[in-house]
């Protein structure tokens, strides 16, 4: 079971007293004790080896300044470094120039850095602190205001640095920062960039599902419908109509989602057993995984695949139905009205009973 994040309220003076080892010249905003809520700071640079060699939990979040990003937008093609930080963590600010240097050195070789801010404050306030510190981050800054990503990664103290290989495995997990730690990060990144090919890519599910939408931004639609016939293209170039008179089972999946891959034989069986029903898989990954997705679905010719892709974040169909995690199954009648929604490893017999009613 993941540890719960400890939420504490500090004034800036208390932070300085409790953590005298932090550099005194690093910028930190003044604040009232009533408005600061966040994670504690750690300066020891200790490693938490229990997290190494485990699958990285999938996540998504809104970006500072607008938009959203998912871990799945980067894993597979990149070695990934996550930096968890807060505007009140002085050693986090001290570490940032070293992380920026790693980005400058390895970005063109396949390193992707995701900066994960855990504060509850506005984008403007977070951006202001970075500006005052003279720090410009040329990589995504994710806003984990609910600290849901931090919880999934067992982050209780800051900063935390995580390095993930192309296959989705955590290869380094470190709490705290002290000068010189960046040399260790450099060594791990260099090795992974030269050896890891990212062949079998998997992200860890949480609660039986693999998340790909920011927490609190999607709500699975359980009633209603499309309102009109929706025309979409399949990955093979064919056309598929939703609400065009034929009942449809949509199976939302990700290449990184192990429970999704395990359910494909069941979905293929449903397509064969219910020829009156249009059964289609909806891939929610991204265009850079097209070759891998095509290779996987070749084994299931009875399941047309709809690429619900965007440059970053969720695609149009996922947004329309409020799908924020996989696996998810949605059944539509011939008019495009929702008759069933299920998320996680749903019972096949339950889905079959709904399809029987639509025959």
Listed residue (299, 105, 79) closest to 171, CA to CA: 79
Q: Which residues contact 331 (CB under 8 A, 6 or more apart)?
A: 247, 248, 249, 250, 338, 339, 340, 341, 351, 354, 355, 358
Number of Cβ atoms within 10 Å of the Cβ of 321:
25
> By the 8 A CB rule, do 189 and 99 touch?
no
pLDDT in tens, 298-343: 999 999 999 999 876 678 899 889 998 899 999 999 888 999 998 8
C-alpha dist (Å) from residue 63 to 118, 214, 279: 12, 10, 34
Q: Which of the pair, 149 or 207, is modelled with greater confidence?
A: 149
What is the average pLDDT value for the chain, to the nearest integer?
82
| Topology alike, domains 8-195 and 210-358 | yes
Asked if the 8-195 domain carries CATH number 3.30.1490.20, the reply is no
According to DSSP, the residues that pair with 282 across neighbouring strands are 252, 306
Banded model confidence at residue 217, pLDDT cuts 50, 70, 90: low
Q: What angle do CA 189, 190, 195 make, to 5 degrees?
A: 100
Mean of pLDDT values over 59-83: 92
Pick the CATH number of 210-358 from 3.10.20.440, 3.40.30.10, 2.60.120.10, 1.20.120.530: 3.40.30.10
3-state secondary structure of 110: coil
The string of DSSP codes covering 287-332 is GGGHHHHHHHHTT-TTS-EEE---SSS--HHHHHHT--EESEEEEE
Taking the CA atoms of the chain, what radius of gyration do you get in angstroms?
Answer: 22
Number of Cβ atoms within 10 Å of the Cβ of 44:
13
Whether the per-residue pLDDT at 34 is higher than 80: the answer is no
Task: Provide the 8-state DSSP code for 144.
Answer: -
Mean of pLDDT values over 56-60: 91
Whether the per-residue pLDDT at 153 is higher than 60: the answer is yes
Q: What angle do CA 63, 160, 57 make, to 5 degrees?
A: 65
Report pLDDT for 51: 53
Residue ranges covered by each domain of the chain? 8-195, 210-358
Task: Provide the 8-state DSSP code for 139.
Answer: S
Task: Provide the 8-state DSSP code for 213.
Answer: S
pLDDT in tens, 222-243: 888 776 778 899 999 999 988 8
Q: Which residues contact 275 (CB under 8 A, 6 or more apart)?
A: none
pLDDT in tens, 130-152: 999 999 999 999 999 999 999 99
Listed residue (135, 353, 335) closest to 229, CA to CA: 335
Rounded-to-integer distance, Cα 324 and Cα 120, Å:
22
Listed residue (194, 198, 205) closest to 78, CA to CA: 198
pLDDT in tens, 184-205: 999 999 999 998 666 677 888 7
pTM (2 d.p.): 0.70
Q: Which residues contact 288 (CB under 8 A, 6 or more apart)?
A: 76, 77
Report pLDDT for 346: 64
pLDDT in tens, 78-97: 999 999 999 999 999 999 99
pLDDT in tens, 276-304: 999 999 999 888 788 889 999 999 999 99
Whether the per-residue pLDDT at 7 is higher than 60: the answer is no
């Amino acid at each position: 079971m993941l540890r719960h994040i400890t939420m504490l309220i500090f004034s800036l003076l208390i932070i300085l007293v409790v953590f005298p080892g932090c550099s005194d010249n690093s910028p930190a905003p003044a604040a009232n004790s009533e408005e600061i809520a966040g994670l504690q700071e750690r300066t020891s640079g200790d490693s938490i080896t229990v997290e190494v060699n485990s699958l990285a939990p999938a996540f998504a979040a809104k970006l500072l300044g607008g938009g959203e990003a998912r871990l799945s937008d980067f894993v597979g093609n990149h070695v990934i470094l996550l930096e968890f930080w807060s505007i009140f963590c002085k050693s986090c600010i001290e570490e940032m120039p070293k992380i920026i240097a790693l980005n400058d050195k390895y970005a063109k070789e396949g390193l992707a850095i995701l900066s994960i801010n855990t504060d509850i404050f506005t984008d403007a306030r977070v951006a202001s602190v970075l500006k005052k510190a003279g720090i410009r981050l040329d990589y995504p800054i994710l806003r984990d205001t609910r600290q849901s990503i931090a919880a999934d990664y067992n982050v209780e103290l800051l900063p935390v640095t995580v390095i993930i290989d192309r296959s989705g495995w955590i290869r380094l997990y470190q709490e705290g920062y002290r000068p010189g730690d960046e040399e260790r990060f450099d060594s791990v990144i260099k090795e992974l960039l030269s050896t890891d090919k990212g062949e079998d890519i998997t992200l860890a599910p949480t609660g039986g599902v693999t998340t790909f939408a920011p927490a609190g931004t999607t709500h699975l639609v359980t009633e209603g419908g499309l309102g009109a016939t929706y025309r979409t293209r399949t990955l093979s170039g064919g056309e598929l109509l939703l609400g065009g008179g034929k009942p449809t089972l949509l199976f939302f999946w990700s290449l990184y989602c192990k429970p999704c891959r395990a359910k494909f034989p069941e979905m293929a069986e449903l397509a064969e057993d219910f020829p009156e029903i249009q059964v289609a898989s909806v891939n929610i990954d991204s265009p850079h995984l097209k070759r891998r997705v095509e290779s996987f679905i070749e084994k299931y010719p009875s399941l047309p695949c709809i690429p619900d892709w965007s440059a970053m974040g969720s695609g149009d169909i996922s947004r329309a139905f409020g799908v924020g995690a996989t696996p998810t199954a949605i059944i539509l009648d011939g008019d495009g009205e929702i008759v069933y929604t299920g998320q996680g490893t749903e019972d096949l017999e339950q889905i079959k009973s709904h399809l029987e009613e639509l025959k």
